Amino acid sequence: MKLTPEEQAMLAGEEGEATRRAIEIVVTLGRIYGAGRLLPVESVQVAGVSYRNIGEAGLAFLRDWAAQGARVRVPTTLNPAGMDLSSRGWRAMGVSEAFAQKQQELVDVYAAMGITPTCTCTPYLVGHNPHQGATLAWSESSAVCFANAVLGARSNREGGPSALAAAICGRTADYGLHRDEQRRATHRAQVRCPVVQPHEFAALGYLVGKQVGNGVPYFEGLDLADGLDVDGSLTPQLRDALKLMGAALASSGAVALYHVAGVTPEARERQDLCAPDLPTVTVDSLDAAMAELDGPLKAIDLVVVGCPHASFEELRDVAEGVRGKRLVAKLWVTTSRGVRDQADSEGLVQAIEEAGGLVVADGCVVVAPMRELAFRSLATNSAKMAAYALPHASIAVRFGSLQQCLRAAERGVW
Ligand code: F3S
């Protein structure tokens, strides 16, 4: 691998041990994947933020790196934590004081490295919004999928340590989705059924992800004309639907990039994306996804909306759906702190809370200490949440539309 003089100096420890460790990780990964060089990275998103997941060993590893002087060189944000970081928020979730203290300690260590303590899987909705072609090292799988597919930026699916290493040395290795040739489609995904509601996009992503694994699907047959503004930009509704679809593609498979004919930036610009002889995945119906994701439960303890973290428009839809009602089941809308603040200023948080719901900023149910919280059943409009809730949080699931989820919150049954 060819390194610049500056990179060689970092590797020789001339910029300190913390940077040496960081670039060593990036170079090692690059060698494993056959990269010929490193690339300057413009933006990083770091996973490994829930204390429930990384525990004392992970916290000690990060403390040690920070104590050696690790500081990030590029704008860097964090993945969701295991709770709302405000004391009002985590107390309302029912999180224990002991967990909250450790969780905050972990975020503080990241902040000491210069990372913006914005904990979200949708950084692109709160100002961490890379331009087309930007070189990233992001690690949240749904965010990576959105950044590559919808924004046309370039990131591999980084692990937490490799993303952090990239932030500290300001480099990532030039392999995988940083390379034009790796961004070509590996499969055609022919859609032959209506896909209209957001949860249907999620179901479609779930089905296609299962079939293509870590491939790059090229979607054809989606009728998305209503989702494009006159200037060709996506409406918030289509953006949010693609957010749900990408999260599902990245969770049932390991998809980090997809294209949608006539919609996503590279599908509009590149003629060489989709070879004529690619294997084809045909989707005639979403029934198989519904059958897998939607269990036979009746009683619902918790309804979760906002996986990936809710946009302002999604929060508004929830607020309108529950305004003036009295919910029986718990309703958690997970989102970023920035979107929560915006929704708060428009009275949307108040409408949700008056109905008995909770707007959880900074956190994610999948990485929250759910065993402490004793929920047994959950309803969601996110295929990713539906797929992860049982294995990661031991919770049985119903999957359906936002309207079905809000009705379940109102009645306590599906
Ligand atoms: Fe985000 Fe958690 Fe879903 S990280 S994508 S809310 S599983």
Helices (H), 234-311: 236-252, 265-269, 287-293
How far apart, in Å, are the Cα atoms of 208 and each of 83, 177, 241, 256? 31, 19, 15, 13
Ligand 1 geometric centre to CA of 38 (Å): 30
Helices (H), 285-367: 287-293, 312-322, 337-345, 348-354
Examine the pLDDT at 390 and tell me if it is beyond 80: no
Q: What is the mean pLDDT of residues 56-66?
A: 97
Question: Which ligand 1 atom is the nearest neighbour of the CA of 141?
Answer: 5
Strands 171-173 and 38-40: antiparallel
CB of 333 sitting under 6 A from ligand 1: no
**Is residue 362 within 8 Å of 335, Cβ to Cβ?**
no
**Is residue 300 within 8 Å of 332, Cβ to Cβ?**
no
Q: What is the mean pLDDT of residues 215-223?
A: 97
* Phi, psi values for residue 281, rounded to 5°: -105, 120
Per-residue pLDDT of 353-373, as tens digits, reads: 999 999 999 999 999 988 788
CA 376 centroid distance within chain = 24
* Distance in Å from the first CA to the final CA of the chain: 56
Examine the pLDDT at 231 and tell me if it is beyond 90: no
CB of 80 sitting under 6 A from ligand 1: yes
Q: Which residue has its alpha carbon closest to ligand 1 atom 5?
A: 308
- pLDDT score recorded for residue 342: 98
Please, which pLDDT band fits residue 394 given cuts at 50, 70 and 90? confident
Please, which pLDDT band fits residue 60 given cuts at 50, 70 and 90? very high
- pLDDT score recorded for residue 373: 85
Question: Which ligand 1 atom is the nearest neighbour of the CA of 365?
Answer: 2
Amino acid at residue number 116:
T
Helices (H), 253-293: 265-269, 287-293
Sequence-distant contacts of 387-394: CB under 8 A, at least 24 apart: 387/206, 387/248, 387/251, 387/252, 387/293, 388/251, 389/304, 389/365, 392/366, 392/367, 393/365, 393/366, 393/368, 394/370
Amino acid at residue number 135:
T
DSSP per-residue letters across 97-159 = HHHHHHHHHHHHHHHHTT----B-S-GGGTT--PPTT-BEEE--HHHHHHHHHTS--B-----
Ligand 1 geometric centre to CA of 364 (Å): 6
DSSP per-residue letters across 23-80 = HHHHHHHHHHTT-SBEEE--EEEE----HHHHHHHHHHHHHHHHHTT---SS-EEE--
Any bridge partners for residue 136, and if so which?
A: 43
Q: Which residue has its alpha carbon closest to ligand 1 atom 2?
A: 364
- pLDDT score recorded for residue 208: 98
CB of 307 sitting under 6 A from ligand 1: yes
Per-residue pLDDT of 173-190, as tens digits, reads: 999 999 999 999 999 999
- C-alpha span between 18 and 22 (Å, rounded): 6
Ligand 1 geometric centre to CA of 121 (Å): 6
Cis peptide before 308 (omega within 30 of 0): yes
Other Cβ atoms closer than 10 A to 401: 13
Examine the pLDDT at 274 and tell me if it is beyond 90: yes
Any bridge partners for residue 37, and if so which?
A: 2
**Dihedral over alpha carbons 310, 132, 257, 199 (to 10 degrees):** 30
CB of 334 sitting under 6 A from ligand 1: yes
Q: Which residue has its alpha carbon closest to ligand 1 atom 6?
A: 307
Examine the pLDDT at 392 and tell me if it is beyond 90: no
Ligand 1 geometric centre to CA of 370 (Å): 14
Ligand 1 geometric centre to CA of 8 (Å): 37
Ligand 1 geometric centre to CA of 142 (Å): 8
How far apart, in Å, are the Cα atoms of 52 and each of 57, 98, 99, 136, 222? 11, 12, 8, 26, 39
- pLDDT score recorded for residue 65: 97
Classified as helix, coil or strand, 310 is strand
Per-residue pLDDT of 323-337, as tens digits, reads: 999 999 999 999 999
Residue whose CB lies within 8 A of the most ligand 1 atoms, among 50, 83, 121, for a mutation test: 121
CB of 243 sitting under 6 A from ligand 1: no
Residue whose CB lies within 8 A of the most ligand 1 atoms, among 245, 364, 370, 381, for a mutation test: 364
Residue 286 or residue 226, greater confidence: 286
CB of 380 sitting under 6 A from ligand 1: no
Ligand 1 geometric centre to CA of 54 (Å): 16
- pLDDT score recorded for residue 178: 98
In the chain, the percentage of residues whose pLDDT exceeds 90 is 92
